[in-house]
Amino acid sequence: MEGNQTSVTEFILLGFPLDTKTQMLLFGLFSQFYVLTLLGNGVILGLISLDSRLHTPMYFFISHLAIVDVAYACNMVPQTLVNLLSPAKPVSFAGCITQTFLFLSFAHTECLLLCMSLVVMSYDRYVAICHPLYYSVIMSWRGCTVLAATCWIFSFLLALVHISLILRLPFCGPQKINHFFCQIISVFKLACADIKLNQIVLFVGSVLVLVGPLGLVLLSYARILAAILRIQSGEGRRKAFSTCSSHLCVVGLFFGSAIVMYLAPKSSHSQEQRKILSLFYSLFNPMLNPLIYSLRNAEVKGALRRFLEKKRSL
């Protein structure tokens, strides 16, 4: 076995095994999603930085979520688009490992910040309504900064653990990755050594960044739901339910697809099904986040309106 091992210098991403017409259709569709992701998150970041009314803890976390969505998309989508134009495109070993590291880092950060944004969003409203005099004390900038920094640092350290375990593996072929990017499970499959330790660490890490945050989100929304049911106005309840349902749909889409991908039994889904699941949390979710969490928000709409009015008056 050891004698057959060779040094792997590049991998070949197989992408989507589709006819040329379908691949071009996907190229156009994914390109639009990519532009909308950059545009939507860019608008959110611009408005939050320019409008002092949005300098609150809730929008602080939303701005971090927008940053990680842009970084997430920039790490994933260009490679996917290149593979759609030129199937079986080679990528260097170092480039593949770097993409895997960045993907894991941003994916972990996305999970934690998505959870933190939703929890802080609900707690922010609770404090503003129930304890307005103590708002600045409870929702302190120092606490928010520490929480955000913890999310980023923990995510990159966990990704570094995964990459360190990958680099200890020998790769002796085949060099073909049956995916549209260097996804960690697909990279595992190319190793010609025991990967049980890698799989165990990946499972434990997935529980930490998926199941834990999802539990906090569901707990927060259970409390929000209880508060909504106490609203006397039928119209108020309807608007609140509409907002929460859209939030939960995106949360379910992101966490659900990721949990199925990384925590479901290996034999439960084919590789092609796993590719489709990957699209939900790597392509669709970064595009939907600014629309669901920010651009439908009255405060953000007001900030956008004030910005446009100021531009027109110049």
Domains and CATH numbers, the chain: 8-313 (1.20.1070.10)
Beta strands in the chain (DSSP E): 10-13, 89-92, 176-177
Neighbours of 226 (CB within 10 A): 9
Between CA 106 and CA 113 the distance in angstroms is 10
Residues 3-57: tens digit of each pLDDT: 344 467 788 888 777 788 888 898 999 999 999 999 989 988 998 888 888 887 7
Strands 10-13 and 176-177: parallel
Mean pLDDT, rounded, for 73-94: 83
Q: What residue type is 95 in one-letter code?
A: G
Q: Which of 132-141, 203-212, 249-258 has the lowest mean pLDDT?
A: 132-141
Rounded to the nearest integer, the mean pLDDT of the chain is 80
- Answer whether 0.85 is exceeded by the pTM: no
Q: In this predicted model, what pLDDT tens digit does every residue of 266-301 receive, in sequence order?
A: 655 566 777 777 777 778 888 887 877 666 677 777
| pLDDT band, very low/low/confident/very high, at 211 (cuts 50, 70, 90) | confident
